[in-house]
Each structure stands twice: as structure tokens, then as C-alpha cells.
Amino acid sequence: MSKPIYLDYNATTPLDPRVLEAMLPYLRDEFGNAASRGHAYGWVANEAVEQARHQAADLLNAQPVEIIWTSGATESNNLAIIGTALAHQHRGRHIITQATEHPALLDPCHVLQRQGFEITVLPVDRHGLISIEQLEAVRTTGTILVSIMSANNETGTLQPLHEIGQWCRQQEIIFHSDATQAFGKIPLDVEALSLDLLSASGHKIYGPKGVGLLYLRRQPRRIRCEPLLHGGGHERGVRSGTLNVPGIVGLGCAAEIARREMQLDATRISALRDRLWQQLQPLHPQLQLNGHPERRLPNTLNITIAGVDGENLMTALPQLAFSSGSACTSANQQLSHVLQAMGRTPEQTRSSIRLSLGRFTIVEEIDTAARLLTGGAEKLFKINPP
């Protein structure tokens, strides 16, 4: 039996063969600890780590010293939210975020809330966007941090980071963005966007799982961050622990490839996404697009097929691998908080699926997927007419 057509790139990406090739020496012969500064094994490992730091920084227009290695975006988000809040609580204890953030961002906010911090969660419009007017309306003299994701993991909607960054800079408020889905897919310039912190993960950009980064601004103003892990003072005291050298090398290589090939990938993948959307039009009027029609990631297509349960459609189409919601919350079968925040009813939410494409998606797979999805939905229509 052949493998299903993979349309779940927002959940994770396959390892690019070039990334694997870069990692292999550090999984075999070059096994040194990057913190072992007294001999050649450590020197080689440290040099590889620093090269990857430069590669990741180049993708963000950051300084290498501003890149902190972590185990992934979940850790980066926790460090950005909790660590920054604790370090700056003398200035205030109010944090602003928005309703469609990933649980890896919302849950750390809830942790702080239980510790006495005030958390404001902004509602979003029907496309999943927030506005500067909303931020202005809830800002207080104690607001120390605004955290707004770059791109939504379920719908691909892109928030207006440039405008938010300018507003935060004018108000002298720290600005963080969970860029897990945007990193490597669209240009992210931390200077142009006035970002102070940014979270990203290796396995979303054809790198390995278990490695991520936190961009932590040092110039022109240094953002302080209390460590969550203690013991050894690695990563300039922000994140202790022996570095995952092969993973870091892989993330660095993936970032370098993304820097070179991002525009080419985005152009090709967005054309495939639009091709898929057009071939699903026979499902109209039951078909609805979720997310902003223009301000979204080039690879993401989230749709509602009225009258078709998304889980039932997944079960009926084992030839396809896609998602009925966020991969991190689907295990407990909760309805998507993202779609509900955008005004979708529980019934519409249950009838939604996420199709996310990537570097290795080809035209033939799109055409086959469109045919299978259309046929599968029409069969379910017969069982339960819309």
C-alpha cells in the first residue's frame, strides 16, 4: 500500500535531504559537546553551533548573539512569555494577546494569570485579524508585553505585524510574535517589524524535531528574560542545558535553504493551493474559505464543507493525510478555538478541514486530492444531505 498524499505540512514537515546530510557528521564522528571548550571535539561542535546561529539570524535580519537555542517553539513561547514577564514585572503586570493564538502561547499566559498577572485576550474579526484600535483600547500604564502570532497555524491568516510593532515601539511595550508557522515561509525582518522576541521551530521548515529558537533583542534596547531552566548557564544564561548540536545544525541548514529558496517555494506552493481551491468549487454552495482570502500563508487552505463532518471525511479518505484542526489539540477532540473565535458555529467548526502544502507537494497530488475530497464529500452528502 502506497503512503497517503501528505497535506499536513503545518503539523510538521519532512526532513529535507540536504538538512539530513548536514546533520549526519554530528550524529556520528563529530559528537562533541559544544560547551567542552578544552579540546578539539568541543571546538568543532561549538563552531557548528555558531555557524547555525549565523544562518538563523540571517533569515531574520537579526544578530547571531540574539538567537537562543531551545527545544522547540513551545519552549520558546514559554520562555518569551513567562521569562519576559518575570524580568519586567517591576514595570507592570499586564499582557495583551489574542484569541486565536496556539495553546503553547495561551497556556503560559494562564500560568501567569494564576500568579496575579492581568491577561487581556483580544477577540478577532471574521478573518481572524486584530487591529491597532483594539490594542489602544485595552492598553494600561502597566502593559509590559504584547504577543501576537505572525501566522495562524489553522487558517494561515497573517496578522499586521508591522503596524503592531510600530505601535508597541511608540508605547515602549515589548513585542513578541509566535512565528512558528511563518518562519521560513514568508519574509520576517525583526528590525522592520520592530520585534523584540520571536519564537520558531525547526520541524516546520524541513528541519529536525526537538529544536527551536528564541530571538531575543539586544540592540538598541536589551530585552531581559528570566531563565526557566537552570544549571550551567548555557546560551548566555537564558537557557541552560547541553545543546542539541545535530538538531541545531539541521535548523541552521534549513534556515539557510529557506533564505535562498523562500520566494521560489512560496510562488510555486501558492499556485498549487489556488489550484486545489479551484478544483474544490464543485462543492459550492456548501464550500466556505476560513481565514483571510489574501493575507494568509502561501501554503494553507482551511475550508468548511457544510454538512460534512471533518473527522468522518478524514476516516473516509485514508489516501490523504490532512487535519480537521490544529495538530496539537486534535488528540483530545476539542472543537477548534480558532474557528470559533472567528465566529464559526460548532457545526461549521466540525465541518472544517485544514489542507497545508509544502516543498515536496506536486501537481499530480493536488489533482488527486481534489478528486478524492470532492468525491468523499459528495458520498457523505448522500448519507446526510446538507
**What are the backbone angles phi and psi of residue 384, rounded to the nearest 5°?**
-135, 85
333: left (phi over 0), alpha (psi -120 to 50) or beta: left
Contact residues for 228 (Cβ-Cβ < 8 A; gap 6+): 75, 78, 79, 82, 83, 239
Catalytic residue of the set 109, 225, 253, 328: 328
328 a catalytic residue: yes
CB neighbours of residue 1 within 10 Å: 5
CB neighbours of residue 137 within 10 Å: 10
Contact 130, 148 (CB under 8 A): yes
What is the three-class DSSP state of 112? helix
Alpha-helical (H) ranges within 131-239 are 132-138, 161-171
Q: Which three cell numbers stand for residue 21?
A: 546530510
Q: Which three cell numbers stand for residue 204?
A: 516546520
Q: Classify residue 317 as exposed, middle or buried by CB count within 10 Å of its CB (0-12, 13-18, 19+).
A: buried
Residues with catalytic annotation? 328
